[in-house]
Amino acid sequence: MLIASNDRFQPWLDPTATPQLRIENVVKTFDDFTAVDDVSLNIYRGEFFSLLGGSGCGKTTLLRMMAGFATPDKGRIFIEDTDLVPLPPYERPLNMMFQSYALFPHMTVEKNIAFGLKRDGMPKDEIAERVAKVLDLVQLSQFAARKPSQLSGGQRQRVALARSLVKRPKVLLLDEPLSALDKKLREATQYELVTIQQQVGITFIMVTHDQEEAMTMSTRIAVMDKGKLVQLGTPAEIYEYPQNRFVAGFIGSVNMFDGPLRENHADYAVVDCPAWGGPIEVGRGIGYGLGHLTTLAVRPEKIQLAKLDQPFAPVNRATARVKDMAYLGNSYVYHVVLESGQVLKVTTPNMGLAPEQQMRRDEEVQIGWDPSACIVVEP
Amino acid sequence: MIGKALQGRGVLRVMMVLVMVFLYAPIVSIVVYSFNESQLVTVWSHFSTKWYVALLHDDQILDAARISLEVALSAASGSLVMGTLAGYILTRFTRFKGRTLFSGMVMAPLVMPEIIMGISLLLLFVGMEQIFGWPERDLQTIVIAHITFSTAFVAVVVQSRLRDIDVSVEEAAMDLGARPVDVFFLVTLPLMVPALVSGWLLAFSLSLDDLVITAFVSGPGSTTLPMVIFSKVRLGLNPEINALATLIILLVGLASGIGAFKTAFKPAAKAAG
Amino acid sequence: MKAVRFLGMPKPGQGRGWVISGPFLWFLVFFLVPFLVVVKISLSTAEIAIPPYAPLFTLSDDGTISLALHLGNFQYIFSDPEYVLAYLSSLRYAAGTALITLLIGYPVAYGIATSRPGIRPALLMLVVMPFWTSFLIRVYAWIGILKPNGLINNFLMWLGVIHQPLEILNNQFSIFVGMVYAYLPFMILPLYACLEKLDHSLLEAASDLGARPFRAFLSITLPLSLPGIIAGSLLVFIPAVGEYIIPTLLGGPSTLTIGTVLWNEFFNNHDWPVASTVAVALIVLLVGPLMLLQHFQAKEETR
């Protein structure tokens, strides 16, 4: 995890901490479409919080309700003890960084950044000082006199960030802040954004559809689907213990098996999975009764592959045929077919095996994983 | 097949050239014959600027020109304000009671036959004068009428510009603490400047040119330039009118041409989109 | 305080209502109400007075208000062949103009839309530029071109193609020339707007699937440009029905159109009620096309 220093920053676990931003049972419908469906969230000071989901999941609408560009039909949004809903956008103590950056094309970088301070009637010399400071923070000091059209995409992105930070809002809202950048620049900027966030100490709430981005940058992630909050947790919690099929499939890729629960013990359970061709052992007890139809999920990188003649130790084991494979440089991706016909995705690191040790297409192989690699998800 | 396509392209080219000739020949012919010495307008004798000199001594035309300019200046400015508001309302306020009626009323003058607008406005003014004692028919009634029909043209220009401006730019301003009025004057309006320039010029040239509506709503003392021109050309060709027309083409054509050119080729305008 | 929404957001205050009410009132008073006044006066009779029509409501001595609705004007204009003819010929000129401008304008719009993107604005400008110069003067110019010793006749006689001047002024031909000339940009612009948006890869797909260019045009381009064709035709047809200047200057003294008839009733006969009746009949005629146009433009907007 990137934010090593955040390991002990977990205010949500502290029962005495008060959240900075509270979203209470917020509902928003457009005509007959429910964009946000009864969402409640507590966000703490200093968090880098992500709203993650596919397009149309309601994450942007939720963000716009915080900024004041949409009104909830029901529910309330508090920042500290102020109810935000009746306040117009220009009176809310939070600022937003727009997906399109929304820079004022007719103003220089400096004027763009000073805009918000001027609206507050701040004295000129103080404005100049603050603008200079924030320009320094985003390393754009020498571009102060340029117009947005004379900047590169990455520079515009930083102007937008500076402009929304300069008012020192209590919370900064970021709407897909990196989506307009190309892949290389995006990765570098992810780290930069986190560094800046830690320097200024402002709470960031980011909307993104990119799960990798959310994983790398966030203290916590709220996964949304069809207007509902489906899971809330740290990146590790969400990846390792997805609560349902949607989260498991949305964050990374996953192989799933369904079947009735056969045995249930304190530290392990057994599920009959016809698609697997037999029982699968799970490394912990399951909260269902015997016979309950259970869904199991296994991440591709937790599945092991071996040639038929190699010794193979995992508890859950079967044979399968390699259907096809892809070379990704740092890893291999295999699609293997079980006897039942179900296709599994398996990734293995590229360890520089000799050609005769590599799997080939249509080869029969051993496949398996340990009980601890397997998790139970809600259907 | 490629040959055929090229042939098709060639036919299109010829067609386009012919249409351009069709569009510009009358204008060119007027300009050329305005320098013809002969009274017989279409028979060329030799080059002369005498009709321009005659024009300068024609008080009727000079008076009318002054009135027309006065009207056009106020009408264009009035239409600019009204058209900007109307265009803004139609693009940014997507839902309000009576929106369909409003957009219908604003846009109908684009196509409404002028005689209908002329007679209906005149009857309104006469009725209002009977009841309220206002307005007397003079320049102000002409200006009101011109604002009413030119607003649509300004609104169209403003609307197309506003559609290109990213709404989130306005939202960003509001997010940074600008009230709606500040957003309009500090962000939206400056971004609309090219459209406002061409909108004003368009309204100006429409006002300067209008005959039918003006004829209905003008009073006895307010004869505009098109009214004078019309009364003269009904009697046939008139070399003095050719000279006047050349001046008008030069003035209006140049000014509005520059305005239209600016909007058509302004790359900076795209940066906002 | 009532929540008024601005840009879809909550806002205390009635700012938006005020912004709307200004222009709304203006158009109500100076666009909509005038039509009602016209309808009202079309129902009254002419009098030699100022203004020259009988009041609709009269207050008699005993304090009763009497309302005299006079439908005679409508009877009059529908029974007099002169008015019926004027209507029919106006319709014919307008429909003919729409058709001819479509036939000329379509290839031009198509040519511009398929030219190099860099020169499109310039070509479009060339089409629009004449519209910015005086309408009256442009129509007037055609007199010099079309008259018996005008440019065309002089040129053809000089070539020796003809020996007698052609009768091409003060008749239907010259009216059509003037109308097509004046309204051509109104056809080209919406057609261009429509054709320009058309995805060129559709045509490539069609030819890839074996359609010859003409076939591809018929089954792809033409149907997809239908909104532009309809909008352009309406933009030409509606104002052309009431055109006054062109028939007057280019059609000669005997030309009968709604425009000339209305003008004469109003300015020469001072019969305001009959002129109003002619106007009302014209408005009624145009309500359908106007609503169709509004419908199409609203559809364009939501796209």
SS3 content of chain B, % helix, strand, coil (to 5): 80, 0, 20
Domains of chain B: 58-271 (1.10.3720.10)
pLDDT for C6 equals 39
The pLDDT of residue A1 is: 37
What is the C-alpha separation between A154 and C237, in angstroms, rounded? 52
Smallest Cβ–Cβ distance between A120 and the set B177, B268, B271 belongs to: B177
Q: Which residue has the higher pLDDT, C302 or B184?
A: B184
Chain C residues in contact with B236 by the CB 8 A cut-off are: 143
pLDDT at C50: 66
**Mean pLDDT computed over every residue of chain C:** 83
Q: Is the pLDDT of residue C136 over 60?
A: yes
Q: What is the per-residue pLDDT for B261? A: 61
Residue A330 has pLDDT above 90, yes or no: no
Predicted confidence at residue A142, as pLDDT, reads 94
pLDDT tens digits, residue range A121-177?
Answer: 999 999 999 999 999 999 999 999 999 999 999 999 999 999 999 999 999 999 999
Give the span between the Cα atoms of A68 and A83, in whole angstroms.
Answer: 12
User: Is the domain of A144 the same as that of A183?
Assistant: yes
Q: How many domains does chain A have?
A: 2
Residue A248 falls inside a structural domain: no
Least confident of A36-40, A106-110, B249-253, C53-57: C53-57
> Band of the pLDDT at C13, cuts 50, 70, 90?
very low
Q: What's the pLDDT tens digit per position in A77-122?
A: 999 989 999 999 999 999 999 999 999 999 999 999 999 999 999 9
- Contacts within 8 Å (CB) and 24+ apart, C65-70: C68/C44, C69/C43, C70/C43, C70/C44, C70/C45, C70/C273
Asked whether residue A41 falls in the same domain as residue A154, the answer is yes
Query: CA-CA distance, B122 to B215, in Å (whole number)?
Result: 10
User: A325 exposed, middle or buried (CB, 10 Å; 0-12, 13-18, 19+)?
Assistant: middle
Question: CB neighbours of A242 closer than 8 A, spacing ≥ 6?
Answer: A231, A248, A251, A254, A297, A375, A377
Instruction: Give the confidence band of C200 by pLDDT, cuts at 50, 70, 90.
Output: confident
Does one domain contain both A26 and A173?
yes
Question: Would you say residue A363 lies in a domain?
Answer: yes
Asked if residue C271 is part of any domain, the answer here is: yes
A44 in any annotated domain: yes
pLDDT attached to residue B147: 96
- Chain A residues within 8 A of C14 when measuring between CB atoms: none
Please indicate, yes or no, whether residues A136 and A34 belong to a single structural domain of this protein: yes
Residues A198 and A128 occupy one common structural domain: yes
In a domain, C254, yes or no: yes
Q: What is the mean pLDDT of residues B136-158?
A: 92
**Is residue A366 domain-resident?**
yes
> Å from B30 to nearest chain C CA?
6
What's the rounded Cα separation, in Å, for the pair C136 and B242?
A: 12
Chains that touch B (3 or more CB pairs under 8 A): A, C
Q: How confident is the model at residue A367 (pLDDT cuts 50, 70, 90)?
A: very high
Domain that holds residue A344: 253-377
- Indicate whether C12 pLDDT > 50: no
- Max mean pLDDT range (A160-164, A312-316, C196-200): A160-164
State the pLDDT at residue B263: 56
H-helix or E-strand containing A263?
strand A255-264
B191 touches chain A (CB under 8 A): yes
pLDDT-wise least confident of A236-245, B232-241, C86-95: B232-241
What residue of B is the nearest CA neighbor of C126? B20
Q: Are residues A183 and A222 in the same domain?
A: yes
Question: Is A288 a domain residue?
Answer: yes
Residue B110: is its pLDDT beyond 80?
Answer: yes
**Residue A5's pLDDT band (cuts 50, 70, 90):** very low
pLDDT, tens digit (0-9, with 9 covering 90-100), for A64-75: 999 999 999 999
**Position C263 in a domain:** yes
Pick the residue of C2, C6, C7, C9 with the most A CBs within 10 A to test the interface with A by mutation. Answer: C9
Per-residue pLDDT at B76: 96
At C154, which CATH number?
1.10.3720.10
Higher per-residue pLDDT: C151 or C67: C151
Is A164 in contact with B178 (Cβ distance < 8 A)? no
Provide the residue range defining the domain that includes C80: 75-302
Asked if A35 contacts A58 with a C-beta cutoff of 8 angstroms, the reply is yes
- Do A64 and A187 reside in the same domain of the chain? yes
B198 pLDDT above the threshold of 80 = yes
**For chain A, which chains pass the contact test of at least 3 CB pairs under 8 Å?**
B, C
Q: What is the pLDDT of residue C158?
A: 85
Contact A71 C11 (CB under 8 A): no
pTM: 0.83
Question: Who has greater pLDDT, B2 or B224?
Answer: B224
pLDDT in the model for residue B5: 56
Distance from the Cα of residue A219 to its chain's centroid: 10
Q: What's the per-residue H, E or C state across C164-204? A: CCCCCCCCHHHHHHHHHHHHHHHHHHHHHHHHHHCCHHHHH
Confidence label for A323 from pLDDT (cuts 50, 70 and 90): very high
pLDDT digits (tens, 9 = 90+) for B34-92: 888 877 766 777 788 888 888 888 888 999 999 999 999 999 999 999 999 999 999 98
Q: Is the same domain home to A239 and A280?
A: no
CATH number at residue A291: 2.40.50.140
Separation in Å, CA of A78 to nearest CA in chain B? 17
- Considering the domain architecture, whether residues A352 and A275 belong to the same structural domain is answered as yes
Residues A20 and A107 in one domain: yes
Q: Which residues neighbour B193 within 8 Å (Cβ) at sequence distance 6 or greater?
A: none
Same domain, A298 and A278: yes
Give the pLDDT score at C7.
41
Rounded mean pLDDT, C54-81: 71
The answer to whether residue C290 is domain-embedded is yes
Q: How many domains does chain C have?
A: 1
Q: Is residue C34 part of a domain?
A: no
Q: Kindly tell me if the per-residue pLDDT of C254 is higher than 90.
A: no
Chain A interface mutation, best of B164, B165, B176, highest count of A Cβ atoms under 10 Å? B176
DSSP, collapsed to helix, strand or coil, labels residue C19 as helix
Same domain for A75 and A192: yes
Q: Which of residues 11-50 of B touch C (CB under 8 A)?
A: 11-13, 15-16, 19-20, 22-27, 29-30, 33, 40-43
